[in-house]
Amino acid sequence: MTAAGGTEVRRADIVRAVRDWIGTPYRHQASARGAGTDCLGLVRGVWRDLYGEEPEAPPAYTPDWAEAPGACEETMADAARRHMIEIAADEAREGDVVLFRMRARGPAKHAAILVTAERMVHAYSGRAVVETTIGPWWRARLAYAFRFPRVMD
């Protein structure tokens, strides 16, 4: 499973790693399994579980960082592009990272990891890391999908 030395990662290992975070309380800007995380911290934590050290530290951000008038930079998607493989959103499958727009024409600001074609694990603001169905509300907001490096089926 460990990809630190260039080894391939199996999708089942990604799913197992993200499910290990379920129940972790929501904490803005945190990334500590069992103690607290936000949606970006969840992806960062799974990255560490699979690959070791993170490739870059995220900048500080406020809970409403993408809600400011005129905020349209795709900060999260651009960072994902630097370290993951962008794929078509309709090609995403278990183990892939998906990003959502929370408002029309706004930047993608919420991240999750698919565990099946119809279910995802994400850090739910005000609650905890949960596994949930990707219903019509989420599908309508799906903006990007990314594959972790060196994933094999």
Which domains does the chain carry? 9-55+72-152 (3.90.1720.10)
* Tokens describing residue 92: 């995403």
- Whether residue 4 has pLDDT greater than 70: no
Neighbours of 144 (CB within 10 A): 22
pLDDT at residue 116 greater than cutoff 80: yes
Per-residue confidence band for 94, with pLDDT thresholds at 50, 70 and 90: very high
Question: Amino acid identity of 57?
Answer: A
pTM of the model: 0.91
Judged by phi (left if over 0) then psi (alpha if -120 to 50, else beta), residue 150 lies in left
